[in-house]
Structure 1
Amino acid sequence: MNQVTIPEGYRMDAQKRLVAEVLIKPVDLARDQLVMELVGKAKAVQEELSRFKASAFGDIEAFVDLSVEQYGVKRGGKKGNVSLLSFDGRYMIKKAIQETIQFDERIEAARVLIDECLRDWTQGARPEVVTLVSNAFRTDTNGEIRTARVLALRRLDIPDERWQRAMKAIGEACQAVGSKSYIRLYERVGDSDQYEQISLDMAGV
Structure 2
Amino acid sequence: MEAVILEETPAEGVTIVNGREYMHDAKGNLVPAVNIKPEDRLEDEMVRKIIAFATDLSARITRFRDHTMADISSFDQLLAQEYGASIGGKKGNKTYQSFDGLMRVQVQVADQIAFGPQLQIAKALIDECLNEWSIESRPEIQTIVTRAFNTDKEGQINKSELFMLLRLEIDDTRWKKAMEAIRASIRVTGSKEYVRFYARPTLDAHWAAITIDLAKA
Scaled by the length of structure 2, what TM-score is found? 0.74
Residue 56 of structure 1 and its aligned partner are, at CA, apart by: 0.4
Structure 2 residues without counterparts, runs of 5 or longer:
1-6, 9-14
Residue 51 of structure 1 and its aligned partner are, at CA, apart by: 0.8
CA contact (8 A) 1:133 1:153 kept: yes
Matched, 1:164 2:176: yes
CA contact (8 A) 2:23 2:33 kept: no
* CA distance 1:29–1:92, change in 2 (3 Å): same
Residue 21 of structure 1 and its aligned partner are, at CA, apart by: 4.9
Q: Distance in 2 between matches of 1:119 and 1:203?
A: 40
Structure 1 residues without counterparts, runs of 5 or longer:
none
- Identity between Structure 1 and Structure 2 (%): 34
Residue 54 of structure 1 and its aligned partner are, at CA, apart by: 0.5
* CA distance 1:73–1:19, change in 2 (3 Å): same
Query: In terms of mean alpha carbon deviation, does 175-184 or 99-108 score higher?
Result: 175-184
Partner secondary structure for residue 83 of structure 2: coil
CA contact (8 A) 1:95 1:181 kept: yes
Q: What does 1:128-147 align with in structure 2 at a 5 Å threshold?
A: 128-147=140-159
Residue 84 of structure 1 and its aligned partner are, at CA, apart by: 1.2
**What corresponds to 1:11 in structure 2?**
22
Residue 154 of structure 1 and its aligned partner are, at CA, apart by: 0.9
Report Cα offsets for 1:12-50 as digits up to 9, x if no partner: 232433345566666665655454444333322222211
Matched, 1:107 2:119: yes
CA contact (8 A) 2:149 2:162 kept: yes
Given residue 69 of structure 2, which amino acid in structure 1 is its aligned partner? F
How many residue pairs align between the two structures? 199
Scaled by the length of structure 1, what TM-score is found? 0.78
**What corresponds to 1:150 in structure 2?**
162
**What corresponds to 1:194 in structure 2?**
206
Q: Distance in 2 between matches of 1:111 and 1:26?
A: 55
Out of 121, 128, 132, the residue aligned to residue 120 of structure 1 is 132
Residue 109 of structure 1 and its aligned partner are, at CA, apart by: 1.4
Q: Distance in 1 between matches of 2:213 and 2:201?
A: 19
Matched, 1:98 2:110: yes
Residue 115 of structure 1 and its aligned partner are, at CA, apart by: 2.2
Report Cα offsets for 1:70-129 as digits up to 9, x if no partner: 332469xxx611111111121111112222222111111111222232233333464423
Partner secondary structure for residue 70 of structure 1: helix
CA contact (8 A) 2:107 2:194 kept: yes
